[in-house]
Structure 1
C-alpha cells in the first residue's frame, strides 16, 4: 500500500498558503464532483457502487463494506475499510491522513472522524495529522466525535454524542465529553 498524502509543514496558513499540494486539492475537488453526481443521490442498497467509486479514487475498501450515500469522505486514498465495516448516514470522515475501519466496525449516523488538528503552540498554527483506527467489532454511536491519533480498540463502544481524544481499552464502553470509561462490554456468544 502506498503512503497516504499528508499535509506539508512549511506553509504559512495566515498568508493564505494551502496545507496540501495543488495536485492533492484538485483530486479532492474532482472527488467531490464525482461523489455528488454519481453517489450522493443513490438509493441505500447501492453500497457496492459507492464502494467501487471510493476504490476508484484510491481507497482500500472491502466489497462487503457499507458506505451510505450521505457519508462525506474527505480524501479516499486515506481510507481503509475491512469486511462488513460501515460508515453510516451523514458520517463526516475528515481523513487528512489514514483512517482505518476494522472488520464489522460501525460508525453510526452523524459521527465525525477527524484525523487533523493544529499546533496551538506554533506561531503559524500548522496542521497536524494523526491516523485514526477503529478496531474490529467497535461501535462509534450517533453523533460521536473521534479525534486525531485515536485508536478505538476492538469491541469498544463510544456512546452517542461522546467526544473521544484518547485511545480506548478493548471492549470498553465510553461516554461523555470528554469520553470516559463507563464499564466493560460483555459480549454474549
Structure 2
C-alpha cells in the first residue's frame, strides 16, 4: 500500500505515524460516518450500509450484505460480489485489498487481516498483502485469514481456524494452522 510510511524515517516506537496524514483523515471520516449512519442499523437497512461503503470507495454488488456490527478498516480496499456476506462482528482489516467472490459467507466475528510486520526490522516495518476469497467459500465463525491468503473456490475454513497459506478449492480446513480434513462436494450457483 502506497500510504504506508517507512518505519526507519517515522519510527512508530518514537511516536511516528504508520500512514500518511491524508490516509488517516479519510479513515477518521469513514469511522465517524459508519458509527453515525450504519453501525446501529438493523439488518433490513443493508442498502444504507452498502451505499455508505460505496461512498467511501468500496466495490460492492447490490445483493451483497454487510452487517452493521462489521468493522471495515478502509472501504476503498473492499470488493464484494453478488450475494456475498460479512456477518455480525466481522473484522475486515483491509489495509490491502480484500476481494470476496459471489455467495461467500464470512461468519460472525471472523477476522480478515491484510497487514503484518517485519519482525527482523528494528522499527517493526508494516507491510500488507491482499486476501482473496473465491466464490462459494465459507469462512466460519471466529476464523482468522492472514495476509496474502487465497481461499479457494468452495473451500471452508472451520470455526476458530487460522489460515496463513492458500486453501485449496472445495476442501474443508480446521485448526491452527489450518489443515485440510476432507473434500467438500462441488456445486454451482447462478449469479443473477
**TM-score, length-scaled by structure 2:** 0.93
Q: Does 1:62 align with 2:72?
A: no
CA distance, structure 1, for counterparts of residue 123 and residue 40 of structure 2 = 39
Deviating above 2 A after TM superposition, structure 1's stretches of 4 or more consecutive aligned residues are: 8-11
* Gap regions ≥5 residues in structure 2: none
2:5 aligns with one of 5, 8, 13? 8
Q: 1:15 to 1:35 in 2, by over 3 A?
A: same
Match of 2:71 in 1: 72
RMSD: 1.2
Contact 1:163 1:179 in 2 (8 A): yes
Contact 1:116/1:129 (<8 A) preserved: yes
Report the counterpart of residue 85 of structure 1 in structure 2: 84
Between the aligned partners of 2:182 and 2:104, the Cα distance in structure 1 is: 19
Matched residue count: 186
Counterpart of 1:156 in structure 2 is: 155
Unaligned runs of 5+ in 1: none
Where does 1:86-101 land on structure 2 (aligned, <5 Å)? 86-101=85-100
- TM-score norm. by structure 1 comes to 0.95
**What whole-Å deviation, never above 9, does each CA across 1:100-125 have from its counterpart, x for those lacking one?**
11111110000000000000011110
Inter-partner Cα distance in structure 1 for 2:89 and 2:155: 21
CA–CA distance in 1 between the matches of 2:4 and 2:65? 28
* TM-superposed deviation, 1:163: 0.6
Structure 1 CA distance for aligned equivalents of residues 155 and 174 of structure 2: 11
